[in-house]
Amino acid sequence: MATIYNTATTLDGFLATTDNSLEWLFEVPGADEAESGIGDFLAGIGALAMGSTTYEWVVEHESLVEHPEHWTAWYADRPTWVFTHRDLPVVAGVDIRFTHNPVEAVHAEMVAAAHDKDIWLMGGGDLVGQFADAGLLDRITATVAPVTLGAGAPLLPRELHSDRLTLLSVEQRGQFAELTYAVGPPHPAT
């Protein structure tokens, strides 16, 4: 069982534009080929987590309030934790748990719910950074798109130095480069 940050990013390290759009990703030729391994990845996932901005984008982009079946087409019945301090739209009939608790407490719940499968941290970068700070991030898979934005939501707004990151694989998926790193524990506070 691992806690994995699997995401797409621009060449200059942004997840989304300054107005939180991911449209840049869907405009890249060969995006379908880059997603070709998502089914295998999802088969190993037992629970998900995301921040409120990511959740809002998914709900709006997929029209999930009107079409909750779109959620189950991708995420099936996997329990999902959404970290937020705000009231957000509810997708009917799916296991979404809104929380503002610390990642350490929620991670323990996620591990229990995942039944020995992996946990997928969908984003955003700051939420994933909180997991990394707590030593609860095991792997990062960043699929780099041939796009630069110049500004936006950063991939991971934390300092993780090379002594915590070990390259596991590099794979070409069409116009995308998929980089996977193991993440070591944080350094003890001095």
Write down the domain spans for the chain: 3-183
Q: pLDDT band for 189, please (50, 70, 90 cuts).
A: low
| pLDDT higher than threshold 70 for residue 86 | yes
Summarised one tens digit per residue, pLDDT across range 135-147 is 999 999 999 999 9
In sequence order, the 6+-apart residues with CB closer than 8 A to the CB of 44 are 117, 118
CA 101 to chain centre: 18
Q: Is the pLDDT of residue 170 over 70?
A: yes
In percent, the amount of the chain with pLDDT more than 90 equals 81
Q: How far apart are CA 69 and CA 44, in angstroms?
A: 21
pLDDT of residue 76: 86
Kindly state the percentage of the chain with pLDDT values over 70: 96
Can you list the alpha helix ranges (DSSP code H) found in the chain? 23-26, 31-34, 38-43, 52-61, 69-75, 103-114, 125-133
pLDDT in tens, 111-140: 999 999 999 999 999 999 999 999 999 999
pLDDT of residue 125: 93
Rounded Cα distance, 36 and 107, in Å: 28
Tell me the whole-structure pTM to 2 decimals.
0.93
Task: Name which residue leads in pLDDT, 55 or 38.
Answer: 55
- By mean pLDDT, which of 42-56, 91-105, 150-164, 175-189 is the weakest? 175-189
Q: Can you tell me which residue has the tokens 């779109």? A: 70
Question: Alpha-carbon Rg of the chain, whole angstroms?
Answer: 16
In the chain, the N- to C-terminal Cα span, in Å, equals 30
Mean pLDDT for 13-25 is 92
Give the model's pLDDT for residue 104.
97
> Is 3.40.430.10 the CATH number for 3-183?
yes
Rounded CA gap, 41 and 35, in Å? 10
Query: Using an 8 Å Cβ cutoff, are 138 and 182 in contact?
Result: yes
Cα dihedral sign for 50, 182, 129, 146?
negative
CA 52 to CA 83: how far, in whole Å? 6
Q: What is the rounded CA–CA span in Å between residue 96 and residue 45?
A: 15
pLDDT at 190 (0 to 100)? 58
